[in-house]
């Protein structure tokens, strides 16, 4: 699996920001920036996209819990792509682009 895009729809300090990771063929991307730029928030967002937004999260300081959203575009080894949206909640939190549970 390759992560092609990480979309911060409403998460931490970000609103409607897209991190494009589709360039390159080596699978390694390095994010750098000054303190408080959002590097740690981006790492938590990646984890939350894949495994769910924790019930007790500190990433709700800009957006209320029910509005927390992340998106992503993933590519399988066979070349198929999947667009997903992750919302904060207790069940059915992984959604397709149509906001219906996957």
Alpha-carbon separation of residue 48 from 7, 78, 80, 100 (angstroms): 12, 24, 22, 18
DSSP 67: G
pLDDT tens, 42-52? 999 999 999 99
pLDDT tens, 18-28? 999 998 777 78
The pLDDT value given to residue 41: 94
Neighbours of 19 (CB within 10 A): 17
Distance CA 47, CA 51 (A): 6
């Amino acid at each position: 699996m390759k992560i092609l895009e990480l979309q911060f729809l409403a998460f931490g300090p970000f609103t409607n920001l897209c991190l494009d990771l589709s360039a390159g063929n080596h699978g390694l991307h390095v994010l750098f920036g000054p303190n408080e730029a959002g590097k740690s928030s981006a790492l938590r967002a990646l984890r939350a996209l894949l495994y769910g937004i924790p019930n007790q999260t500190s990433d709700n300081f800009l957006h209320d819990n029910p509005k927390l959203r992340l998106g992503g575009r993933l590519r399988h080894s066979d070349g198929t792509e999947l667009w997903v949206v992750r919302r904060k909640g207790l069940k059915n939190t992984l959604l397709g682009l149509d906001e219906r549970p996957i």
